[in-house]
Amino acid sequence: MATRHLIGLLLATEEDWPSAFESVLGRLGPVRHGGETHEFAAARILNEPFDLRSSPRYTLVIDRLSWWYDLPREWLKKIALLDDVYLLNNPFTFQAMEKHAAYCAMMRLGLGVPETWLLPHKLPPDNPRYVPMAERYNPVFDLEQIGDWIGYPLYMKPFDGGMWVGVTRVTGPEGLHAAYEESGERMMHLQASIEDFDVFTRSLSIGPQTRVMRYDPGAHGHYRYQVEQGFLTPELEREVGLISRLVNAFFRWEFNSCEVIVKDGRAHPIDYANASPDIALVSLHYYFPWAIKSLVAWCAFCAVTGRSMRLNQRTREYFEVGDGDLGYGEKLTRYAELSDAYFQVPEFEEFCSTALTHLDELTVEYVESAEFDELVVRAIRLEVEPDRHEEMIDRCRTLTRRWAEDERAS
């Protein structure tokens, strides 16, 4: 008798990747591992009142909602603490370790995070105790002096933000004052800009699987990911990919993206706390099938092997490396060992090579199918303004078919 695993999808408004995930998971069929048969199904989760002692149906949940909606966030904490349901991203660290804490941690580990300052709120919090406290303990500070210390240009951005909301490029004191005035009640970072860089990258990591992509932050949102190979040396590509996996292993995140700027052979991570990374078809296009295949593989591995939820970070073993006297390259080697151990890389690779031997082929067949083409049309019409429908449908068709052709040729 087969063991059944139900994978829950906790969603916002997206329709593209959930449909593709459900289709590939359905095509996967039963898999054999350890002498046993395992079957999978997916279900979309409703946000309802819940009994704290109720038993959930799910083996694993993919969360795309709790970063902004409190009810599912608290439900995820409940099923992690009470029911041992596996979550790809630890909800406790994602709530506590926003951009600010993530910068601090990676600075201690020795990564090349640009110079970063935290500013007090421009407008005070709505708390009657704030004003008398501030009169005693919040000295007047010289904003322009901080700007001079960091150097222009620089970026002002929310300490806990995402999706580029509230991010301002500042080129001088006048712009710095204007951006601070506009920040209102949001607490902001000032961060040095890496100018005249060689490559801007965004890496998508799903479990131990990482795809490093060239990224153009100044392009239209649907054109930022560049389909290009060899834009980094093999050594730098390994380093950038490792940084993404290191961040995730440290914080116990398994579905996250990381932005790293490369200049003069040095990697500078600038954004790597993304609770809901971009996995949209219209954005990823060529890379979308890889993301879906990787998500299916990691979910299947976690469910079948009974991988347990890591609630504790075990930061000490990382800080011992970061605080030590090793050189940067030696630290990266040690971080690779720690992250590989966290992600159970040998076990995952063995699982893929024995239980998921058909996943690559069936994903290619799905991308070449009429079902996938219908998804492309439906997703574009839902997400893109009408006057760009045909352009974007043609682009996504062309690039995903190109991925399938490349896979068959490899």
Q: Are 203 and 213 in contact (CB under 8 A)?
A: yes
- Counting Cα atoms < 13 Å in the Cβ hemisphere of 51 gives 4
The owner of tokens 């919090």 is 125
The pLDDT value given to residue 163: 66
Q: What is the pLDDT of residue 162?
A: 67
Q: Supply the pTM of this predicted model.
A: 0.95
pLDDT at 165: 78
Residues in CB range of 383: below 8 A, 6 or more apart: 16, 280, 282
Could you tell me the CA-to-CA distances from 173 to 38, 147, 178, 184 in Å, in that order?
61, 7, 9, 18
- The span from the CA of 275 to the CA of 87, in Å, is 12
Task: 75-79: list long-range contacts, CB under 8 Å, 24+ apart.
Answer: 75/47, 75/50, 76/10, 78/50, 78/52
Structure tokens at 35: 């002498």
- List the one residue out of 181, 191, 172 whose CA is nearest residue 122: 181
Beta bridge partners of 86: 60
Identify the burial level of 338 via C-beta atoms within 10 angstroms of its C-beta, where 0-12 means exposed, 13-18 middle and 19 or more buried.
middle
Percent of the chain with pLDDT strictly greater than 90: 84
Tokens of 273: 């706390």
Q: What are phi and psi of 407, to 5 degrees?
A: -65, -40
d(Cα 151, Cα 171) in Å, to the nearest integer? 9
User: Which tokens belong to 292?
Assistant: 């879906």
Crossing angle for the helix pair 99-108 and 315-322, to the nearest 10 degrees: 50
- Taking phi over 0 as left and psi of -120 to 50 as alpha, with beta for the rest, 402 belongs to alpha
Indicate the helix (H) or strand (E) that contains 222: none
Which residue ranges of the chain lie beneath pLDDT 50?
Answer: none
